[in-house]
A and B are shown apart, each in its own frame.
Chain A
Amino acid sequence: MRSFFAFILAVLGLGALALYSSAFIVHQNEQALVLRFGEPLPAITTPGLKWKVPFIDSVEKFDKRILDLDTTEQEVTAADQQRLIVDAYARYRIVNLLKFYQNVRYEERVREVVGPLIESEIRRVLGSATLQEVVKDKRESLMKQIADQVNKEGRDYGLEVVDVRIKRADLPKENLVKVYDRMRADRVREATELRAEGEAESNRVRANADKDVTIIKATATQKSDEIRGDGEAQRSRIFAEAFGQDPDFFRFYRSMQAYRTALKPDDTRMLLSPNSQFFRYFEDPSGKAPAAPSPGPAPQQ
């Protein structure tokens, strides 16, 4: 009985061992290469429970996901002799396990092996474009160009390069100084322009105001003169109506008034003839004979 159980146990143990050494799990994010005495069998790219011959087959697993490759920063000279610091990254996946195994073998070595490839491709492609094209106009298509070329070359290493993108394409420090100078100059120009605009606008507003003032005053003066003229016209009319009734009396009456106002007591010295009308009764109480016909006084001022 005891030996029977022992046997069972032994069989079970052996079975487990056999199972353990003949089955392996390929995860969803993995792929595997089975080597039979070092000879590669067709790659296993689907996940699940897989079988192998124990002790004879060995399994190499590789990542199936899209992997990350960051290139080192490098200086590139564009076609217009502008220098650029370029930092790019690539995304790849391992598609040909055997080639990958033969050429690269470990993921850690991809950077070492493929990195320089990408970097030289970047230099080549960006070197044929101007700075303006790299930064602005053709960035997308240049990246595509690099990716396509690198992808072609990467096939030899069992890699599919999904994408190469320029992370940074910046100017080196020394060139930045020049850019800064230009930016400053631009700003100074802009500031000057703003000030000039301000002055121009200010002057315009002031001039407009002055113009308005002049017009307003002129209009007022015009109106004023019209009103005054109207007043004077009325005055003339009133006088003409009144005085026209007896021009002779008017002349007399007005003369009387004029003498009164014109001959002020303070500044008038009179040289009178005793023969005047005024003195008619001065010498002769009958007032008969005023010698001279001219009646009025001869005022002198």
Chain B
Amino acid sequence: MPWSSQGGSGGSGGNGGRKGGPWGQGPWGPSGGGGGGKEPPDLDEILRRGQDRMRQVMRGGGGNGSGGGGFSGGVPKPFLFLIAMLLLAGVAFYGFFFRVNPDEQGIVMRFGKYNRWEGPGLHWRLPYPIEEVRLPQVTQQRTIEVGAGRSIVGGQDSGLMLTGDGSVVDVRFVVFWRIKLDKDNSTPDGDTGVKQYLFNIAQPETTVREVAESAMREVVGQSNLQPLLTGGRQQTQESVQKVMQKTLDTYGAGIKIDQIQLKEVDPPEEVISSFRAVAAAAQEKETLIKQAQTYADQVVPRAHGDADRIVAAAEGYRDQTVAEATGQAARFLKVYDEYKKAPDVTRERLYLEMQEKVLSGADKIIVDQKGNGQGIVPFLPLEQLQKRDTEPQPDQSSTSSTDGAR
């Protein structure tokens, strides 16, 4: 029989009719009596039987199998076959290949034993029982926060820690860590980071957290309170990182501590107000000093101004004095020049001018002492006299004149 006829309706229809039912016999049944059993089954025969079997299977429960099924079975056959092949291929694909995402590394174990690692991409493997693949995310940075339950004494996640000088400080910090990669991120030799991470420690998260708590308390315990609160932040972070890394390395944990970040380092809540009081006192100190400096800035320039004024006044006085003296001297010399020309007359004139000037304004009492030796005594006290200005004076002999020039 030609190959083409195998798929035709005739052959299969005939077959369907000849058998009692699709499931009446086992799949091997026709080999016994189908062809009369005389000649050995040729290739065509075997193929045909296989097709039969296939068709029978495809018909499912065989509900319409016994009728003129030739027509109904012809169309889906290659289609279903294709699906089956695809399925098989799919299974084979998943059995033999695996994909590694950019943030992952594929760790292949053969019979449970570490065999090799693969970078991102599609990779070949043997199916399950022989090889297994683990896909840890290796590039991701992970974080753990410690001290979130701050200030709760003895709490599970307390951030309260004893410092070296016997004080207590409340610390909250975050640990940034990742799986340790190889130096150039490619050499898979020996106990590399990923391998250690996967196979050396049981609970990496817990381990990092506990190591972090221990390390932070160790570092805080060796420091005093003040540097922790103020300057020593950077140093604390670095020390904790160092201690953690050392500890994790002794475990062979395959973990790298990227960074420790101190979120908050505060005195405990119970005493924080007194710390604020200190800050306020520091402010107060600054204010006092500023005020004093303001005072100084005000007073000293003013003093300089005063000093300049004093000196200026003195200079003024000096110049004035000199000028006056010069003037007076000049005046004297001028008069003297004239005096030299006619000394007697000038002297007399000056004298008379003076008398004139002096006597013109003053009260004048003229007493003639010629008569007796008593002089002016009888007229004393002069004070009285001066007071009773306008009254007529008892006069002995001479004239008394009251002065009206006032």
Interface, chain A (partner B; CB < 8 A): 1-2, 5, 25-30, 46-49, 63-68, 70, 73, 85, 89, 91, 131-132, 135-136, 139-140, 162-163, 165-173, 176, 179-180, 182-184, 186-188, 190-192, 194-195, 197-199, 201-206, 208-210, 212-213, 216-217, 219-221, 223-228, 230-232, 234-236, 238-239, 241-243, 245-246, 249-250, 252-253, 256, 259-260, 263-266, 268-275, 277-279, 291, 297, 299-300
Contact = CB atoms under 8 A, between A and B. Distances in A.
A28 B329 contact: no
6 contacts: A165-B211, A170-B168, A188-B274, A212-B299, A223-B310, A271-B382
B270 to A, nearest CB: 5
Given A48-B112, A234-B318, A253-B336, 13 more contacts: A47-B113, A135-B163, A167-B213, A170-B153, A170-B154, A187-B278, A192-B281, A195-B284, A223-B314, A235-B325, A242-B328, A250-B332, A279-B366
B350 A253 contact: yes
Contact of A46 (B113, B218, B250, B336): B113
A77 B349 CA distance: 122
B362 A265 contact: yes
B233 interface: no
Contacts of B26: 2
Interface string B165-190: 01110000000000000000000000
Contact of A272 (B154, B311, B367): B367
A54 to B, nearest CB: 17
Contacts of A176: 153, 160, 168, 268, 270
Contact of A194 (B284, B355, B357): B284
A259 B268 CA distance: 94
Contacts of A180: 168, 268, 270-271
B369 interface: yes
Nearest to B214: A165
Contacts of A202: 288-289, 291-292
A49 B126 CA distance: 15
Contact of B221 (A48, A139, A224, A238): A139
B303 A297 contact: no
B20 to A, nearest CB: 18
B386 interface: yes
Nearest to A295: B351
Interface stretch (B6-14, B84-92, B196-204): B196-204
B303 A48 contact: no
Nearest to B217: A168
A269 B358 CA distance: 10
B158 interface: yes
A208 B306 CA distance: 18
B23 interface: no
Nearest to B322: A234
B3 interface: no
B154 A73 contact: yes
B44 interface: no
A280 B216 CA distance: 123
A46 B352 CA distance: 148
Interface of B: 26, 28, 31, 109-114, 129, 153-154, 158, 160-164, 166-168, 195, 198-203, 206-207, 210-211, 213-214, 217-218, 221-222, 225, 247, 250-253, 267-268, 270-271, 274-275, 277-278, 280-282, 284-289, 291-293, 295-296, 299-300, 302-304, 306-308, 310-311, 313-315, 317-322, 324-326, 328-330, 332-333, 335-336, 339-340, 343, 347, 350-355, 357-370, 376, 382, 386, 398
Contacts of A253: 332, 335-336, 339, 350
Given A217-B303, A270-B365, A65 B288 contact: no
Of listed A169, A202, A299, residue having the most chain B CB within 10 A: A202
A49 B109 CA distance: 11
B320 to A, nearest CB: 8
B362 A268 contact: yes
Given A180-B168, A273-B369, A216 B304 contact: yes
Given A191-B278, A206-B296, A167 B270 contact: no
A191 B247 contact: no
A265 B361 contact: yes
Contacts of A266: 361
A210 B303 CA distance: 9
A91 B248 CA distance: 11
Contacts of A219: 307
Contacts of B317: 227-228, 231
Contact of A216 (B307, B319, B335): B307
Contact of A245 (B289, B293, B333): B333
Contacts of A217: 303, 306-307, 310
A275 B326 CA distance: 39
A140 B202 contact: no
A140 B218 contact: yes
Contact of A208 (B296, B325, B364): B296
B311 A224 contact: yes
A65 B299 contact: no
Nearest to B304: A216
B109 A238 contact: no
A231 to B, nearest CB: 3
Contact of B347 (A47, A210, A228, A252): A252
Contact of A184 (B201, B251, B271, B366): B271
Contacts of A299: 358
B314 A227 contact: yes
B329 A249 contact: no
B347 A274 contact: no
B153 A273 contact: no
A260 B109 contact: no
A175 B82 CA distance: 79
Nearest to A19: B129
Contacts of A206: 292, 295-296
A70 B335 CA distance: 122
